[in-house]
Structure 1
Amino acid sequence: MGVGIGVVVIGRNEGVRLERCLASLVGAAQLVVYVDSGSTDASVRMARELGVEVVELDMAMPFTAARARNEGFARLQQLQPAIAYVQFVDGDCEVVPGWLIKAQAFLDQHADVAVVCGRRRERFPHRSIYNLLCDLEWDTPVGEAKACGGDALMRAGAFAAVAGFRPELIAGEEPELCVRLRAAGWKVWRLAEEMTLHDAAMTRFGQWWQRTLRAGHAFAEGAFLYGAAPERHWLRESRRAWLWGLGIPLVILLAGSILGWLALLLLLIYPLQIVRLAVRGARSPRENWLQALFLVLGKFPEMLGQVKFLWRRLGAGKSTLIEYK
């Protein structure tokens, strides 16, 4: 039986964010591996100066975060074959003191759980509405869950048994992994404990748009892989993006050819949907309205992300990362 915790951090040009991330981990785990994906800043040198094991990816091969995490895990197993748990962390996150101890204790006490995660928060939620939207997005229910995000503590044996992340996925690799783990009989659990501080550094609408487009791509690919019953993975999210981002606009255009300008009244369905979502919100009025507005607006980039996935599936486009910073 393995013992101890190893950590895999991935990043590229994260600067001070990476420094905070690694500083929060050095001394808190048996081994920390940093996987760098072609940084042009001082990330690699700084990681080595902190005593962290560094893996520099061959950027001649297609890059994905999934591939980076897998290579980090492979190095971890090579150096510490007996490691029982692996914490995956994105390089723009700082691990909260005490999280690793609490997460390990939970897995030690729950032999049927393969993945445990906690509360990820935005470091600067009030610097932009886009950072705030991320913070609201991270606030998910505690208890048994279907999936985790990029930060999570996993059983090394369970992770290896399902062959890790699917390396070709450019987004949504963590939920896809969790689908396979749950199919193998494992559980995924979210604790109310503070886990990480994330620095989205989103200050522009274009960044939010790209990030949401990436989510749409993930929805489409997830539904393609596991949309059938009983999993129905991201099928609902995918259909909603098609409906609100393309279906309704097409209906309005068709109605316009028959009703003329009166068809524009159908556009009221969008503000009405915003109102419906806002009044159902359980947060502050400002947060409810902001989240409702961007949930509805987000259906358009989500739809475009699905188009991008289908275009690639047809062989008309290459699989490339969708980055927002």
Structure 2
Amino acid sequence: MSAASIGAVVIGRNEGARLIRCLRSLQGQVQQLIYVDSGSSDGSAEAARGLGAEVVDLDLSRPFTAARARNAGLAALRSGIELVQFVDGDCEVDPGWIPAAAAFLRTRPRAAAACGRRRERFPQASVYNRLCDAEWDTPVGEAAACGGDALMRVAAVYTAGGYRESLIAGEEPELCLRLRRAGWEIWRLDAEMTLHDAQMLRFGQWWNRSRRAGHAFAEGAALHGAGPERHWRTETRRALTWGAVLPAAIAAAGLISPALLLAALIYPVQVLRLSRRMGYERALFSVLGKFAEASGALEYHWRRRRGTARGILEYK
């Protein structure tokens, strides 16, 4: 499949130099380059136009979501574009990725999406960047979902109805679930795909990102958890159990007898248990992250009961 039938949709908000690097990595690789701007104030839209990208400005009267941005870019694709590379504006696309992914999709007519290895550009800058880099290292082969960077068949995404615009996070796995229900396949290839710049240097950033994940888990489970895939039910249950139910139970027990507060030792024990599989650093933050995820999940259910929706939760 030639570049003549491939487009790219880049989404971003105030990404600065990262966006420039992203757009330049796509020049000459696609026939149509689209940048969807979500209200940037740093001149991103003007810089993108200067690099030859078509710019779509999201309607400021509606809440921003990455799903909205991707759908807006999808709608701007010209007739004849068969494949679209979705990519976040803080990522640089590997020069070999699009040819490799397009060749794979050509040989797998039921494959709707292909993703590869996303890596952190500066994994040693912080423990939080290293955690991201490990998170991106997903198993190679047929997969349940891809992330924000993926080469997709335009027809498959249209047929599935595009991204669910109300989701503040987790929109990619939700779309992939609907694609798989329609008989499509999602693949993770053994190929370099993108360099991502999380720029996550503070604990508060990591906490907000984890809280957003918990919100996504709870909303995804509410949408599709009753289906055969049990979408994100396990992740939601773990977050609520370790991050809310157990702490509340231990605190309540401590009111009866202070000695019962020793039950809190279950958390360091869990860290040591997980360390055997993922190493101490990842294990520690996996356990700590359950508190943030529980916060996000509880917020989702609280807002759902009140009939209100949350805006985007940024960590940069």
Fold equivalence (TM over 0.5): yes
> In structure 2, how many angstroms separate the alpha carbons of the residues matched to 1:251 and 1:315?
26
2:243 aligned with 1:242, yes or no? no
Pick from 96, 99, 109: which aligns with 1:98? 96
Per-residue deviation at 1:316? 5.5
What is the aligned partner in structure 1 of residue 272 from structure 2? 275
| Structure 2, gaps ≥5 residues long | none
What TM-score do you get using the length of structure 1 for normalisation? 0.95
Question: Superposed, which structure 2 residues align to 1:144-293 within 5 Å?
Answer: 144-258=142-256, 260-281=257-278, 288-293=279-284
Across the aligned residues of Structure 1 and Structure 2, the Cα RMSD in angstroms comes to 1.3
> In structure 2, how many angstroms separate the alpha carbons of the residues matched to 1:316 and 1:86?
35
> In structure 1, how many angstroms separate the alpha carbons of the residues matched to 2:283 and 2:99?
37
Per-residue deviation at 1:308? 1.3
What is the aligned partner in structure 2 of residue 82 from structure 1? 80
Per-residue deviation at 1:149? 0.3
> In structure 1, how many angstroms separate the alpha carbons of the residues matched to 2:249 and 2:57?
50
Q: Secondary structure at the match of 2:123?
A: coil
> In structure 2, how many angstroms separate the alpha carbons of the residues matched to 1:317 and 1:58?
20
Q: Secondary structure at the match of 1:24?
A: helix
Per-residue deviation at 1:254? 2.4
> In structure 2, how many angstroms separate the alpha carbons of the residues matched to 1:89 and 1:178?
16
| Distance change (3 Å), C-alpha of 1:180 and 1:316 | closer
| Structure 1, gaps ≥5 residues long | 282-287
> In structure 2, how many angstroms separate the alpha carbons of the residues matched to 1:163 and 1:318?
21
What TM-score do you get using the length of structure 2 for normalisation? 0.98
Pick from 295, 303, 308: which aligns with 1:312? 303
Matched to 2:300, the amino acid is: F
Pick from 89, 108, 111: which aligns with 1:110? 108
Per-residue deviation at 1:185? 0.2
Question: Superposed, which structure 2 residues align to 1:109-128 within 5 Å?
Answer: 109-128=107-126
Matched to 1:275, the amino acid is: L
> In structure 1, how many angstroms separate the alpha carbons of the residues matched to 2:38 and 2:148?
16
What is the aligned partner in structure 1 of residue 43 from structure 2? 42
Per-residue deviation at 1:247? 1.1
Q: Secondary structure at the match of 1:54?
A: strand
Matched to 1:35, the amino acid is: V
Matched to 2:258, the amino acid is: W
What is the aligned partner in structure 2 of residue 68 from structure 1? 69
**Divergent runs of 4+, >4 A:** none
Q: How many residues were matched structurally?
A: 315
Per-residue deviation at 1:192? 1.1
Q: Secondary structure at the match of 1:149?
A: coil
What is the aligned partner in structure 2 of residue 301 from structure 1? 292
What is the aligned partner in structure 2 of residue 285 from structure 1? none
Per-residue CA deviation, residues 130-183 of structure 1 (Å, 9 max, x unaligned), is 001000100110000000000000000000111100011111000000010000
> In structure 2, how many angstroms separate the alpha carbons of the residues matched to 1:51 and 1:149?
26
Per-residue CA deviation, residues 79-102 of structure 1 (Å, 9 max, x unaligned), is x21111011000000000110000
> In structure 1, how many angstroms separate the alpha carbons of the residues matched to 2:233 and 2:255?
32
Q: Alignment identity in percent? A: 61
